[in-house]
Structure 1
Amino acid sequence: MYALADGTERKLYLREVIMYLVISILLNSMGNGLTVACNMGSAMWTASAANLAHDFHISIATILIVYGLLSILINVILLRHFDWPRILGNLIFIFPYGYFVALWAKYFRYLGVDQLTIPERIILDICGILCLGIAISIYQRVNVILHPNDDMTNIIRFNYVHGNPIAAQMLNFAIPLSVVIILWISFKNVVAINVGTIISLLFQGAIIGWSDTHVFTRLKHRITLIKSKKETVVVDQ
């Protein structure tokens, strides 16, 4: 929804939906790619995927896609019904997303990010985490096409924890954190866990909540769509 100056709200126009989605998807994949290239700790889901890829010698892009499919199943359970337009939007997001992250990581390595000093990489890694939180906030509010991991946070936030973004994000992170712990016990090593992971674990929910009120401030959550099956987008006249 888009808040007007008189205090009322209207549905987003199609051109606005496209603009917000492009900005948020670019920010999300770029932020994730930057954290991977910095190697100073990725966001929790990405870090968990990196550990699975390392321990089982599978492409991280493939793991991210599998995680997306698993999250779709969990979302169906949380919603207690099959929302097919929502599932289609999740699928549209996840299949190119994993490859976008890999491409951004390759690009940042080409720029020499991985050769910078540790303090410089920590700063850039934190910037990547900030980009992630802002991006998630934007496309959660648009709520047309979401990564299923972030859709899960949205569902938990507004259906189970009374709109609290920090609690919702922590519950969401319980899944990848459990995977990392199990892998650590099984393989005795951990990768992609560092300063950035701790910051993401502790503060990503707060970054999302801050972004909701400070980034594109007139863009509002479509809470009815999170709880119901569908809502239309206004096409420009």
Structure 2
Amino acid sequence: MITTQDGLRKPTTLEAIFYFILSLLINATGNGLTVAANMGSSMWTASAANIAFDFNASISWVLIIYGALQILINIALLGQVNFSSILGNIIFISFFGPFVGIFKQFFMNLGISNLPLFATISLDILGICLVAIAVSIYQRLNLILHPGDEMTNILRFKYFSGNAKIAQWVNFSIPALVIIVLSLIFRQIVAVNIGTAIALLFQGIMITYSDQLIFPRLKHRL
């Protein structure tokens, strides 16, 4: 909701489109930046990067397939099928996966991974912050969500009394398990580094602060 002097109102169509497109671009930029820097991505993106690397697949397609699996998990968590929500999830991942691939290639062409270590780590952390900001915006909008972030929303408000940090940790346990299994099988690992630890420990906190500081008049639509 948008806060007004009289309380809360729904965002207008133009406002909703603005918030959605902005958050999608911020999210794809942040994820693309972390993958290109290779100093650690958020857990789901790091997991997807390892699958793509181990099986010589496109990360865009891995992210789309991940999105489909996350939709099934959300149905189980809710105990019901919400077709409008699922349609929104499909729309989101249809754009999100390709956009991450585009931004990843863009930053790789800029030579991000060849910068000095401090600069690469700093850009990686910036990418993680961007992801947290984007998640905060479209979780509050709650119109069209990435299914992974909708999972966090469901866990946060249905199971953990609004605690974003715990919800994010539970969400991240799935890709963490995938990364561990793949590293044991293939004896190699990518996109897991200091940035991954920062995302695991602090992304939930970043989302909470983003709720308060980034477009603070935009409130959660539950």
TM bin (shorter chain): over 0.9
Aligned AA (2:201): L
**1:4: which partner in 2?**
4
Letter in 2 for 1:144: L
Report matched runs for 1:87-166 at 5 Å. 87-166=86-165
Q: Distance in 1 between matches of 2:145 and 2:14?
A: 17
Task: Spell out, residue by residue over 1:171-203, the C-alpha distance to the aligned partner (whole angstroms, 9 max, x if none).
Answer: 000000010111112222211101111111111
SS of residue matched to 1:145 = coil
Q: Report the number of matched residues.
A: 222
Secondary structure of 2:51's aligned partner: helix
The C-alpha deviation readout for 1:22-69, integer Å capped at 9, x for no partner, is 110110000001111111111110100111111122211111111000
- 1:232 is aligned to none
Aligned to 2:186: 187
Q: How does 1:1-237 map to 2 (within 5 A)?
A: 1-6=1-6, 8-223=7-222
1:117-136 CA deviation, whole Å, 9 max, x = no partner? 11100000000000000000
Report the residue type matching 2:152 in the other structure: T
Distance in 2 between residues matched to 1:88 and 1:46, nearest whole Å: 22
In structure 1, how many angstroms separate the alpha carbons of the residues matched to 2:176 and 2:108? 26
Distance 1:47 1:61 in 2: 13
1:5 Cα offset (Å): 2.9
Q: Find the residue that maps to 1:51 and give its secondary structure.
A: helix
Q: Secondary structure at the match of 1:3?
A: strand
Whole-Å separation in 1 of the counterparts to 2:111 and 2:173: 33
CA distance in structure 1 between the partners assigned to 2:189 and 2:168 by the alignment: 22
Matched AA of 1:179: V
SS class of match (1:42): coil
1:214 Cα offset (Å): 0.9
Q: Distance in 2 between matches of 1:68 and 1:120?
A: 31
Q: With structure 2 as the length reference, what TM-score do the two structures score? A: 0.98
Larger mean CA deviation between 182-191 and 206-215 belongs to: 182-191
Q: Alpha-carbon deviation of 1:112?
A: 2.1
Cα RMSD of the aligned pairs, angstroms, is 0.9
CA–CA separation in structure 2 for the residues paired with 1:43 and 1:118? 19
Deviations, residues 212-236 of structure 1 (Å, cap 9, x unaligned): 111100100012xxxxxxxxxxxxx
Judge which range, 57-66 or 67-76, deviates more.
Answer: 57-66
Q: Which amino acid aligns with 1:158?
A: F
Using the size of structure 1 for normalisation, the TM-score is 0.92
Give the superposition deviation at 1:96: 2.0
State the identity %: 53
Q: CA deviation at 1:107?
A: 1.0
CA separation in 1, counterparts of 2:177 and 2:104? 25
- Unpaired stretches in structure 2, ≥5 consecutive residues: none
Compute the displacement of 1:142 (Å): 0.4
Tell me, which stretches of 5 or more residues in structure 1 are unaligned? 224-237
| Aligned-partner Cα distance in 1 for 2:132–2:208 | 9
The residue type equivalent to 1:3 in the other structure is: T
Runs of 4+ in 1 over 3 A off after TM superposition: none
